[in-house]
């Protein structure tokens, strides 16, 4: 080649001698122009395939080699393809060699010119025998080898689908030489990786079995590579080949049967052994499934496999030759990985032997072996029953944390993470925290993350967990991510049992006391003190004023993110402690002009909050945060998974809950179940009578000392229902009346607030003793209660006495905070002089329509909003029949319906919207006392339409709002009101 392509050598020399990129580009452009000129043919010299017939073999090969070299340098080559194909079609090896090399590099599988060369490639694979360039001696496999190499390197789905069957035929043909079989196996592997569905496992498995019986180790090595690639995609299809793989391993390991040229430092074909062990790792149940078979052959190959693995474990040792040591240990570690894959189904003596051997390797001086030993021991630690064996090497692993090689230190950290359990957690965490102060920056972030996960996972006392995180912050605060201290806040918030919250608040207050402390400490202290600082405010030196002073000393050195947290904490401190308000007000005043928008907005909103809202509303807005949602995977575990991958031993360890975590989860679930049972019991009591708006809140409970209780007589309930329905749309009336007691109600509303007066009159001839009225709290109502002395007592011995012909009074001030569809419950309890206990469960006529504000809309605006509120979640609709004996539906009847809509439900009549006189439409706004992010009241627009069918004597009530509860509540009130019209 060097004597023939002198022009190519000169061209390469010119490019190497170029002094600048521009000079090289200029030389390449000149050569490309010259080659293009040489390849251009006209007239008789133009071949059928577009090549130049005037070029001799030497010139064509030289110019194509130049194009290949230019392409390898990174320049675009978009011509000369016809000359490449002409070389491929040649019968001379020298030309075909150049042609296939250029074909692999310059053309892609989707190139239109590839169709013209497919037959040539197919012919070279199936009919080998090109002539030599020197003496025309026929060869048997050179053309096949060149064709297979080109197919493997040329991408393109169409090419693969066209030629893959020829590749398979060449691989399995008995006439193919070992060289061709090796290349065909690797070529097919490349095609399968590109298009996995090319080969059907059940059909191809017998052919693989024939290949695995080949005597040539080179063919076996390439075939095993193909087998591993195919089995990785569909393991079950190739499970029958396990005995063949075991037999080959037995020949290499037990009998040392290997050709001399495949011995590597006296180790028989280590690459083939590694590939076979990797293939066997795809079948973790191979031992158990084989033992269940009755076939003696199956048992024989299992015994042979165990013998092979046992011999690898026992005969592998550190060698003076680095190359031999690396090869032997590569086989060893794959054998240990196979033992790990078998898990508990494998022989216990193999696991013990592997552990003993790995314990020896993690103490050697060779860093590569020590690295692999630590890595493999971490995998072995995942198996059941290995914990105690691994703990014996804990001190050795701790020494590896101080290794000069950071990769060894990382593996030691990973192994410590995996071997940690409830028994040794505190010692390992304390050792890691102590070593953190000496660790370099490259590994500190990983150490902090794993220490935080271990401390949470195995903390039998969460106070130890809090102390550990604070140590991490003090030692390496720059490497403590936000996710770590967020997790502390989440755990402390979600575990109100015991004194954890108070302990954390006190500890953080002490930790933030020095002027120089890490900013992460300030952040977590600010959040926790804002939420739970009141738990320690009575302790000496921990008052609200002292908490503000300690936190505010860090204001000047904090960044914007920390100041935003501090601002919210100051607002909560000012809400809890009167003495903090004069201290906080100047801070908010200064920060109203802050350059940071977040701090500016928070300061302005907190400063204006007390002027804009009632004290109760401010109290509600600044109360402690509710518990966080417990996710299946914490943010720390997600971060670990991102860093190490889902298959790592550390991620598998982190995702398995520990005994301490299961215990905490059980406690939380028990508390949640208890809360749900209480809520379900209350709901059952409130819904004892299935009525849209029921005047009865539930069945009376048992009296003190299990005395029988007199409830509401059934004959009174119809009158109660009518009285309750009337009170929903009228300002005053009687709610309940029997021979002993009369309950009257007078109520008035402005916007989201209401004033309800309840009068309890004694109609009997004797005093009513221990008279009490218990109004249940509601999530959607803020209620302030005042009443006759003793009326609101909870105790059975409390209450007031209502003398004959006198009244007890109850005053309720309510503010609605959210839509609702049920009326608040009230229980009235008293005793007569003869000791008879009475309990009447009632409901107050406080319904959603009481907080409506009429809105008048034009017909076009009403219909536009009506259409925009379509949808199942926004609309409620029900048909109601007129009561038996009621008047027929006429215009006078419709006037009463319109009066109910406007005066009773407080809706504005939308004139012009009704297409017929039998339709009434209205609009209103449901007012609440809640605020949005901009400080505006949250209101809900409501629309109602009542359509009458005089012939059927029925009404259809349709309500549409943005909130499902509003739609349901308005519909219920409208239904009961129409029944009474």
Distance between CA 542 and CA 545 in Å, rounded? 8
Q: CA torsion 328→334→339→340, rounded to 10°?
A: 130
CB 27 within 8 A of CB 35: no
Question: d(Cα 320, Cα 322) in Å, to the nearest integer?
Answer: 6
Q: Which residues line the annotated binding site?
A: 6-7, 38, 58, 62-66
For residue 305, give the nearest of 221, 225, 348, 248 by alpha carbon.
248
- Using DSSP's 3-state secondary structure scheme, residue 733 falls into strand
Please enumerate in sequence order all residues whose Cβ is within 8 A of that of 139, keeping only pairs 6 or more positions apart, or say none: 93, 128, 129, 130, 131, 132
Taking the C-alpha atoms of residue 529 and residue 547, their distance in angstroms, rounded to an integer, is 8
pLDDT for residue 958: 92
Q: What is the pLDDT of residues 420-461, one digit of tens each?
A: 888 888 888 998 898 888 888 888 888 899 899 888 888 888
Higher pLDDT, 685 or 289: 289
Q: How many CB atoms are located within 10 Å of the residue 97 CB? A: 19
pLDDT for residue 971 is more than 70: yes
Residue 651 makes CB contacts below 8 A (sequence gap 6+) with 637, 640, 641, 644, 645
Average pLDDT over residues 782-787: 91
Helices 500-511, 482-494: crossing angle, 10 deg rounding: 140
Q: Residue 709: which H helix or E strand, with range? A: strand 709-710
Q: What is the pLDDT of residue 632?
A: 61
Give the span between the Cα atoms of 201 and 222, in whole angstroms.
18
Handedness of CA 409, 413, 414, 416 (dihedral sign): positive
**pLDDT for position 153:** 86
**Residue 139 has what pLDDT?**
55
Distances (CA, A) of 644 to 407, 421, 634: 13, 21, 16
116 band by pLDDT with thresholds 50, 70 and 90: confident
Which residues, in sequence order, are CB contacts of 662 under 8 Å at separation 6+? Answer: none
711 secondary structure, DSSP code: -
Tens digit of each residue's pLDDT (9 = 90 or more) over 157-206: 777 777 888 888 888 888 888 999 999 999 999 988 888 888 887 888 89
DSSP 363: T
pLDDT grade, residue 78 (50/70/90)?
confident
Please give the Cα distance from 277 to 242 (Å, whole number). 10
- Total Cβ atoms within 10 A of residue 359: 17
pLDDT digits (tens, 9 = 90+) for 339-355: 888 887 888 888 888 88
Cβ-Cβ contacts under 8 Å for 653 (sequence gap 6 or more): 382, 417, 418, 420
Alpha-carbon gap, residue 856 to 666, rounded angstroms: 56
Residues sharing a CB contact under 8 Å with residue 362, sequence separation 6 or more, in sequence order: 370, 373, 374, 377, 393, 396, 397, 400
Q: Give the number of other Cβ atoms within 10 Å of residue 531's Cβ.
A: 21
pLDDT at 136 > cutoff 50? no
Question: Rounded CA gap, 485 and 766, in Å?
Answer: 66
The mean-pLDDT minimum among 19-23, 512-516, 680-684, 715-719 falls in 680-684
How far apart are the C-alpha atoms of 687 and 698, rounded to whole Å?
6
CB atoms within 10 A of CB 256: 11
CA neighbor of 830 nearest in space, from 764, 735, 745: 764
Token pair for residue 513? 């006391």
The b/e string for 381-402 (b: 16+ C-beta within 10 A; e otherwise) is bebeebeebbbebbebbbebbe
Alpha carbon of residue 437 to chain centroid = 33
Element (H, E) at 507: helix 500-511
* Residue 301 vs residue 670, higher pLDDT: 301
Q: What is the DSSP string of 126-170?
A: HS--PBPTTT--B-SSHHHHHHHHHHHH---HHHHHHHHHHHHHH
The model's confidence at residue 734, banded by pLDDT at 50, 70 and 90, is very high
User: Residue 185 has what pLDDT?
Assistant: 92
The average pLDDT across 730-742 equals 91
State the pLDDT confidence band at 705, using cuts at 50, 70 and 90.
very low
The pair of structure tokens assigned to 897 is: 């319906």
- Among residues 947, 979, 935, 942, the alpha carbon closest in space to that of 963 is found at 942
Q: Is 59 helix (H, G, I), strand (E, B) or coil?
A: helix
Structure tokens that stand for 931 in this block = 């605020």
> 68: buried, middle or exposed (CB in 10 Å: 19+, 13-18, 0-12)?
buried
Name, in order, each residue with C-beta under 8 angstroms of 299's C-beta and a sequence gap of 6 or more.
290, 291, 293
pLDDT for 437:
84
Are 491 and 529 spatial neighbours (Cβ–Cβ below 8 Å)? no
Among 926, 922, 904, 927, residue whose Cα is nearest residue 959: 922
Q: What is the DSSP letter of 319?
A: -
pLDDT at site 80: 85
* pLDDT tens-digit readout, 524-557: 999 999 999 888 888 888 998 999 999 999 999 9
Mean residue pLDDT of the chain comes to 84
Task: Give the burial class of 21: count Cβ atoms within 10 A of its Cβ; 0-12 exposed, 13-18 middle, 19 or more buried.
Answer: exposed
**pLDDT value for 506:** 93
Contacts of residue 259, Cβ cutoff 8 Å, sequence gap at least 6: 217
With b for 16 or more beta-carbon neighbours within 10 A and e for fewer, the 585-623 pattern comes to: eebbeebeebeeeebebbbbbbbebbeebeeebbeebbe
pLDDT band at 850 (very low <50, low <70, confident <90, very high): very high
Three-state DSSP class for residue 681: helix
Show the tokens assigned to 114.
């590839």
Mean pLDDT of 243-247: 91
Reported as a pLDDT band with limits 50, 70 and 90, residue 140 is: low
pLDDT band at 2 (very low <50, low <70, confident <90, very high): very low
Q: How many CA atoms lie within 13 A of 248 on its CB side?
A: 30
Task: Map tokens 């269940």 to a residue.
Answer: 292
Class of residue 645 by CB neighbours under 10 A (exposed 0-12, middle 13-18, buried 19+): exposed
**3-state secondary structure (DSSP) of residue 679:** helix
State if pTM tops 0.75: no
Helix axes 201-211, 217-233, angle to 10 degrees: 160
Contact 640, 414 (CB under 8 A): no
b (16+ CB within 10 A) / e for 706-733: eeebeebeeebeeebbebbbbbbbeeeb
pLDDT exceeding 70 applies to what percent of the chain?
A: 91
Phi, psi for 856 (deg, rounded to 5): -100, 125
- Residue 354, classified by CB atoms within 10 Å of its CB into exposed (0-12), middle (13-18) or buried (19+), is buried
What would the two tokens of residue 53 be?
Answer: 């017939």
Q: In this predicted structure, what is the pLDDT of residue 625?
A: 83
Beta bridge partners of 46: 52
For residue 843, the cross-strand partners are 825
């Amino acid at each position: 080649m060097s004597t023939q392509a002198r022009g190519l050598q000169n061209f390469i020399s010119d490019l190497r001698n170029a002094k600048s990129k521009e000079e090289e580009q200029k030389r390449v452009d000149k050569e490309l122009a010259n080659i293009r000129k040489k390849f251009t043919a006209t007239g008789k010299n133009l071949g059928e395939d577009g090549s130049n017939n005037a070029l001799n073999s030497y010139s064509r090969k030289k110019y194509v080699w130049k194009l290949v070299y230019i392409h390898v340098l990174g320049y675009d080559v978009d011509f000369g393809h016809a000359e490449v194909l002409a070389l491929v079609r040649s019968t001379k090896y020298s030309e075909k060699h150049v042609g296939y090399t250029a074909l692999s590099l310059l053309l892609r599988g989707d190139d239109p010119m590839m169709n013209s060369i497919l037959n040539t490639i197919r012919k070279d694979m199936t009919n080998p025998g090109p002539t030599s360039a020197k003496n025309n001696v026929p060869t048997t496999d050179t053309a096949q080898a060149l064709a297979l190499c080109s197919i493997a390197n040329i991408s393109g789905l169409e090419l693969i689908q066209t030629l893959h069957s020829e590749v398979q035929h060449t691989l399995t043909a008995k006439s193919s030489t070992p060289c061709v079989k090796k290349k065909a196996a690797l070529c097919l592997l490349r095609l399968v990786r590109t298009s996995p569905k090319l080969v059907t496992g059940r059909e191809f498995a017998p052919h693989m079995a024939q290949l695995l019986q080949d005597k040539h180790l080179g063919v076996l090595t390439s075939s095993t590579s193909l087998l591993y690639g195919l089995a990785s995609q569909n393991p079950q299809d190739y499970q029958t080949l396990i005995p063949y793989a075991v037999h080959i391993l037995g020949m290499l390991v037990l009998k040392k049967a290997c050709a001399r040229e495949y011995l590597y430092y006296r180790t028989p074909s280590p690459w083939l052994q590694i590939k076979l062990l990797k293939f066997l790792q795809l079948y973790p149940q191979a031992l158990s499934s084989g033992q269940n078979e009755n076939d003696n052959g199956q048992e024989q190959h299992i015994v042979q496999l165990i013998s092979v693995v046992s011999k690898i474990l026992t005969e592998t040792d550190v060698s003076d030759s680095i190359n031999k040591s690396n090869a032997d240990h590569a086989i060893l570690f794959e054998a240990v990985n196979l033992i790990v894959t078998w898990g508990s189904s494998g022989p216990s003596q193999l696991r013990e032997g592997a552990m003993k051997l790995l314990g020896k390797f993690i103490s050697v001086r060779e860093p590569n072996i020590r690295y692999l030993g630590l890595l493999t021991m971490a995998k072995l630690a995942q198996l059941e029953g290995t914990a105690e064996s691994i703990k014996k090497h804990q001190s050795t692993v701790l020494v590896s944390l101080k290794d000069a090689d950071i990769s060894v230190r990382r593996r030691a950290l990973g192994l410590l993470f995996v071997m940690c359990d409830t028994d040794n957690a505190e010692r390992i965490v304390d050792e890691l925290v102590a070593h953190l102060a000496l660790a370099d920056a490259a590994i500190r972030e990983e150490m902090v993350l794993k220490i935080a996960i271990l401390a949470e996972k195995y903390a039998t006392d969460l106070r130890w967990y809090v102390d550990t995180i604070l140590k991490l912050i003090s030692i390496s605060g720059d490497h403590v991510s936000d996710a770590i201290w967020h997790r502390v806040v989440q755990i402390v918030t979600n575990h109100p049992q015991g004194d954890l919250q108070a302990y954390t608040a006190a500890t953080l207050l002490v930790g933030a006391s020095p002027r120089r402390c890490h900013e992460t400490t300030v952040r977590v202290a600010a959040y926790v003190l804002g939420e739970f600082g009141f738990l320690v405010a009575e302790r000496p030196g921990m008052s609200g004023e002292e908490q503000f002073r300690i936190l505010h000393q860090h204001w000047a050195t904090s960044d914007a993110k920390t100041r935003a947290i501090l601002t919210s904490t100051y607002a909560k401190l000012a809400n809890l402690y009167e003495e903090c308000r004069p201290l906080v007000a100047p801070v908010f005043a200064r920060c109203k002009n802050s350059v940071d928008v977040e701090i500016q907005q928070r300061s302005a909103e907190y400063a204006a909050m007390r002027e804009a809202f009632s004290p109760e509303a401010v109290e509600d807005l600044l109360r402690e945060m509710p518990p966080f949602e417990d996710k299946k995977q914490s943010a720390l575990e997600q971060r670990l998974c991102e860093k190490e991958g889902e298959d790592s031993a550390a991620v598998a360890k982190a995702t398995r809950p520990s005994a301490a975590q299961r215990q905490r989860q059980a406690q939380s679930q028990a508390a949640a179940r208890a809360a749900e049972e209480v809520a379900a019991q209350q709901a059952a009591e409130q819904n004892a009578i299935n009525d849209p708006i029921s005047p009865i809140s539930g069945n009376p409970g048992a009296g003190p000392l299990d005395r029988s209780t007199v409830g509401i007589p059934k004959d009174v309930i119809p009158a109660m229902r009518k009285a309750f329905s009337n009170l929903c749309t009228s300002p005053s009336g009687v709610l309940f009346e029997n021979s002993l007691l009369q309950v009257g109600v007078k109520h008035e509303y402005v916007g989201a607030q209401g004033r309800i007066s309840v009068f309890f009159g004694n109609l009997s001839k004797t005093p009513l003793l221990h008279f009490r009225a218990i109004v249940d709290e509601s999530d959607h109502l803020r209620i302030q209660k005042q009443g006759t002395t003793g009326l609101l007592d909870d105790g059975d011995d409390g209450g007031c006495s209502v003398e004959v012909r006198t009244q007890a009074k109850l005053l309720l001030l309510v503010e609605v905070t959210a839509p609702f569809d049920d009326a608040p419950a009230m229980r009235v309890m008293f005793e007569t002089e003869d000791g008879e206990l009475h309990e009447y469960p009632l409901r107050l006529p406080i319904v959603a329509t009481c907080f409506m504000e009429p809105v008048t809309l034009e017909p076009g605006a009403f219909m536009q909003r009506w259409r925009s509120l379509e949808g199942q979640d926004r609309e409620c609709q029900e048909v109601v029949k007129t009561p038996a004996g009621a008047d027929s539906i006429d215009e006078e009847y419709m006037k009463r319906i319109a009066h109910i809509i406007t005066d009773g439900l407080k809706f504005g009549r939308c004139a012009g919207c009704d297409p017929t006189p039998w339709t009434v439409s209205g609009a209103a706004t449901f007012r609440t006392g809640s605020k949005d992010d901009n400080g505006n009241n949250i209101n809900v627009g409501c629309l109602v339409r009542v359509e009458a069918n005089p012939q059927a004597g029925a009404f259809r009530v349709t309500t549409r709002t943005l909130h499902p509860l509003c739609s349901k509540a308005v519909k219920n009130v409208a239904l009961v009101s129409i029944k009474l019209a």
